[in-house]
Amino acid sequence: MTQFDLTEDQRAIQEMAQRFTADAITPHAAEWDEKHIFPRDTIRAAADLGFGGIYVSEESGGIGLGRLESALIMEAMAYGCPSTSAFISIHNMGAWMIDRFGNQAVKDKYLPDLVPMARMASYCLTEAGAGSDAAALKTKAVRDGDHYVVTGSKQFISGGGENDVYVVMVRTGEDGPKGISCLVIEKDMEGVSFGAQERKLGWHSQPTAQVNFDAVRVPMENRVGAEGEGFRIAMMGLDGGRLNIGACSLGGAQRCIDESVRYTKDRKQFGQSIADFQNTQFTLADMQTELEAARTLLYAAAVKVTDNAPDKTRFAAMAKRFATDTGSSVVDRALQLHGGYGYLMDYPIERIWRDLRVHSILEGTNQVMRMIVARDMLR
C-alpha cells in the first residue's frame, strides 16, 4: 500500500467482492431480512472465492491475505447486507484462531472443512455475566484423562444452533485472564444444546442463540494454544474482528449515502429537487467527509494489525469505535434525508440503520474501545 492508495491487487480483490455482492447479495438482502432467511448457499458461494479463509495461511488452504484486504472484502459485502458480511467475518475469526494458534492435529481436523465453509465456525466468548468483563467468564473445562469436561453457557453467539464448529473460551485455571483456555467444540458432541433463536432489532439474516455445554467431553487435541493462553488468543482475534465490524459499518453507510444522493436528486419539494437545497448538500458533504475519515483510519489500523505493530490494538480500537459510530450517524442522517420513505421497508435505509446499531456493542462496546485507547495512552 502506498501512503494514500490501494495496490492493484487490493483493488482487484475489492472489485471481485463488489461484483459478488451486486450479483449474489444486494438483490436478496431485503427478503433475507424480512423473512429471517439464513443465506447458507450464498455464504458458501462467497467461500468459493476464498472468503471462508481470508487470512488463513495458504499452507492451511486459505488465501493468506492481510487485514486490509479482509476489510475491503467485508466493506464490499456489507454494501449489500451488513448482517451477512458480519457473519462471514465471525467465521473467519474462528478459522484464523485455529490456524494461527492450533497444533497440526487440530488444524488438520477442522480447516479443510472450514475454509470452503462446508462447516461454519462461531466464536464463543460472551456469557450472561461476562460481557465487557470477558475475563470473568465462568464456563469451566476440567481435565479428565485425555479429555476436558466442559460445563457452562455462552450468550449472543452468531451462528448458534446452525454452525457446526464453536471456538470456545473456557476456564481451565485460576480466576481472571490467566486461567482461560481455548477449545474447539462441535455441534454434535453429546451435551451441546442451544437456546431459542434471539429476536433481534437487526442482523436478521444470521442466527443468534445461546450455546449450552452440559458435561461435554472434548478431546485434549481440540485445545487451541497452551492452557492459559485463551484470553490472549481471544483478544488477538478481536483486533481483527473489530476491523471487520468497522468495515461492515463503512460498507453499509456508503450504501446509504449513495441511496441518498439518488433519492434527493429525484425527490422534489417546493418546485425543485431537494438535492438543490443547501442544507441537503451540506448534510451529504458532511456524511461523505466523516465516512472517508473513518475509512482512512480503519485502513491504517488494518495495516498495523497485519504488520503486528506495537500500537495495533490501540489503532484497532480507535478505528472500530470511530467507524461504527460514524456509520450509524451517517445512516441516521440518510434516513432523515429520505423523510417518511426512509422509515419504510421499501428502501434499504431502515434495514441498514437496524443492522449497524449493534456494531457499537459487539466485538467490545465502544465504551470499552475508549478504555483500551486511554489505557494505552496513559501506560
List active site positions: 363
CB atoms within 10 A of CB 354: 18
- Amino acid identity, position 346: D
Alpha-helical runs (H) found in the chain: 8-20, 29-35, 40-48, 67-78, 82-101, 104-114, 230-266, 278-306, 312-337, 349-357, 366-378
Are residues 301 and 315 in contact, defined by beta-carbon separation less than 8 angstroms? yes
Instruction: DSSP for 6-23, please give it.
Output: --HHHHHHHHHHHHHIII
Helix (H) or strand (E) segment spanning residue 219: strand 208-219
Q: What are phi and psi of 324, to 5 degrees?
A: -75, -40
Kind of pairing, strands 165-171 and 121-124?
Answer: parallel
Helix (H/G/I), strand (E/B), else coil: 159: coil
Helix (H/G/I), strand (E/B), else coil: 194: strand
Instruction: DSSP for 236-275, please give it.
Output: HHHHHHHHHHHHHHHHHHHHHHHHHHHHHHH-EETTEEGG
- The Cα 22–Cα 27 span in angstroms is 7
- The Cα 228–Cα 179 span in angstroms is 5
Here the cell at position 14 is 475489492
